[in-house]
Amino acid sequence: MSAALGRLRMDGGWRDRLVRASEAHRSITILVVMSLVSSLLVVFPNFNVLQGPSGWYDAFANAGVFVLLAMGLNVVVGLAGLLDLGYAAFFAIGSYAYAYSNSPFSGLDLPFIPMLVIGAGIAALFGIALGAPTLRLRGDYLAIMTLGFGEIVPIVFLNLDKWTEGTNGIGGLYRPEALPILGEFTPISPFPYMIVSLIVVTLAMILLYRLHDSRIGRAWMAIREDELAAAANGINTVVTKLLAFALGATTSGFAGVFNASKLTIVSPDQFLFTVSFTVLAMVIIGGMGNIWGVAAGAFIVYMIQAVFLKQINTVVENLGLPAFDLGPIHVDLLQINFLNYQFLLYGFALVLMMLYRPEGLFPSRERRAELHADEEAGEGAEVVGAMGGVPGENVE
């Protein structure tokens, strides 16, 4: 079987050649694919399906935020294998950075594009500050640490009300200044937001793929596979993990600045655990470790959650089905708010996913190999599989 797989990779047909060409010219491939996707996203809403174009553009712009978040978390969880449950904290820090730089509250009005970079940089600093003391921890312990950090940050923003206006949050943020060609950023026409979001996502994807293909990306994957073996092969595990953490935070900070500039308000309740959890679910559903897979997964999950579930309500209302009784149960579809069921849906999706497709919708090659070892592996598989816990070797 392994020999067959090898042959398949070596001398496959046009499909294989296409894959190889795209791997050799990643940045160009991403640019081509993203411009195709962009033109689709620009044209499609004009058909007025379910909602008008500005509704769609708005949803796409918001989806871009979650795509960014998911790609950033993918570096931490999918590539380096560090479970981060407090990812929303860096999102919050990026958002508040923009709020301080562009609001009546602080009296500052700094330009938008540089603030994207500065906000991301501030989030990165916090990522390092959290990572440096904690990255010696592993597995569950690290997850609990990050969970704690994710809880602390919104609470700090909540309780420092002299500086952050507490529960009310900082409102009335200035929108970004008009850009050439795109025009004004206004709540009525979210088109420029969508374009900026697409550009940022494309840029982030190119940069993340470059890291993924470099020695740094290999080091992350090596740490995920076997941390001790990685150290024994000359990888400074602490620095490498710290870099993954900082880059995840940077991406999150980007998303935060963009999101704050779009919502024009930041408040602590935007950054609760549900955000961290949603993004983690997106990463898992998309296919941990695979950058474009995670981006696609995040987009799909966001669209289901924010557009289609909302539309189910409208559709059901329009159908106007009469209420009926099923034995003792009274069923009235009009009374059900399907939006309330999004977490039930997540739950179902995750359970089904773990049962039937644990590697996600669009898994990376490594991941698929790992989770389908019994079907694909050759003679060597049992040996590597069995050597998991060796006493003495695992101590560090």
Partner 1 sequence: MTDVLHAVNVTKRFGGLLAVHDVEFTIPEGAIVSLIGPNGAGKTTFFNIIAGIYDPTAGEIRFRGKRMIARSRRAWLEPLLWVVPALAVALTTVLVGEAGASDIVIALGIFFTVIALMIVMVVGVARPPAYADFLTRFGVFRSARPNDMVVAGLGRTFQNIRLFANMSALDNVLVGMHSRLKATWLDALLSTPRDRREEAEARARAMQLLDLAGLRKRAHETAKNLPYGDQRRLEIARALASNPVLLLLDEPTAGMNPRETADLTKLIGRLRTELGLTILLIEHDMRVVMGISDRVTVLDHGERIAEGTPDEVRRDPKVIEAYLGTPAA
* Tokens representing residue 355 in the block: 């049962």
Are 54 and 189 in contact, with CB atoms under 8 Å apart? yes
| DSSP secondary structure code for residue 352 in this structure | H
Query: Phi first, then psi: what are they for 183, rounded to 5°?
Result: 90, -160
- What mask, x for binding partner 1 by CB under 8 A, covers residues 238 to 257? xx--xx---x----------
Identify the bridge partners of residue 324 per DSSP, sorted by sequence position.
Answer: 331
Residue 69: Cβ within 10 Å count: 31
- Judged by CB under 8 A, the stretch of 132-140, 163-171, 183-191, 340-348 that binds partner 1 is 132-140
Among 179, 272, 312, 369, binds partner 1 (CB under 8 A): 369
C-beta neighbour count of 317 within 10 angstroms: 11
Which stretch in 46-54, 131-139, 176-184, 312-320 sits in contact with partner 1 by CB under 8 A? 131-139
How would you classify residue 184: left for phi > 0, otherwise alpha for psi between -120 and 50, otherwise beta? beta
**Given candidates 40, 188, 232, 326, which one binds partner 1 under the rule CB under 8 A?**
232
- How far apart (Å, rounded) are the C-alpha atoms in residues 36 and 380? 42
Burial class (CB in 10 A: 0-12, 13-18, 19+), 115: buried
Choices 55-63, 99-107, 256-264, 383-391 (CB under 8 A): range interacting with partner 1:
383-391
Q: Which of 50, 207, 306, 349 binds partner 1 (CB under 8 A)?
A: 207
CB nearer partner 1, residue 66 or residue 126:
126
Of 13, 107, 180, 234, which one interacts with partner 1 (CB under 8 A)? 234
Can you read off the two tokens belonging to residue 143?
């997850």
- Least Å distance between CB 216 and partner 1? 5
Binding residues for partner 1 (CB under 8 A): 1-2, 5-6, 9-10, 27, 125, 128-129, 132-133, 135-136, 207, 210-211, 213-219, 221-222, 225-226, 228-239, 242-243, 247, 365-367, 369-370, 373, 376-381, 383-385, 387, 390, 392-393, 395-396
